[in-house]
Amino acid sequence: DAGVTQSPTHLIKTRGQQVTLRCSPKSGHDTVSWYQQALGQGPQFIFQYYEEEERQRGNFPDRFSGHQFPNYSSELNVNALLLGDSALYLCASSLTGGHRFNTEAFFGQGTRLTVV
């Protein structure tokens, strides 16, 4: 059973560019959450997608946007990249399935984004 997979694993972008990161959830999961982990910090919640809609959002600017597809996979888009966007971006999947609280969240290995 494949777990949460993220692509690409590493990415280097220039300031001002746009980037798209991808996530495939664990089989059977319907909810995807994205986190940003700066060097030496804990992960920070960006947003969560369920039923192809953004369900919750953390304290991130509108430059950060996302999408969830009918197969539950998800993309994270960041526009107008800043040097401060350099971080490990983690995707986590879980199962909502009609309940308020999800099952346990499983994390992918992350995408390391470097902005130069």
Residues that bind another protein (CB under 8 A): 4, 31-33, 40-45, 48, 56, 90, 92-94, 96, 100-110
Question: In the complex, what is the shortest distance from the CB of residue 29 to another protein, in angstroms, rounded to a whole number?
Answer: 9
Non-local (6+) Cβ contacts of 72 within 8 A are 25, 29, 30, 31, 32, 93
Question: In the complex, what is the shortest distance from the CB of residue 44 to another protein, in angstroms, rounded to a whole number?
Answer: 7
Non-local (6+) Cβ contacts of 11 within 8 A are 19, 21, 111, 112, 113, 114
Non-local (6+) Cβ contacts of 79 within 8 A are 18, 63, 65
Question: In the complex, what is the shortest distance from the CB of residue 105 to another protein, in angstroms, rounded to a whole number?
Answer: 5
Q: Which is nearer to another protein, 79 or 107 (CB)?
A: 107
Q: Contact 49/68 with Cβ under 8 angstroms?
A: yes
Question: In the complex, what is the shortest distance from the CB of residue 24 to another protein, in angstroms, rounded to a whole number?
Answer: 13
Q: Which is nearer to another protein, 18 or 52 (CB)?
A: 52
Q: Which is nearer to another protein, 16 or 51 (CB)?
A: 51
Q: How many Å apart are CA 32 and CA 73, to the nearest integer?
A: 8
Q: Which is nearer to another protein, 16 or 97 (CB)?
A: 97
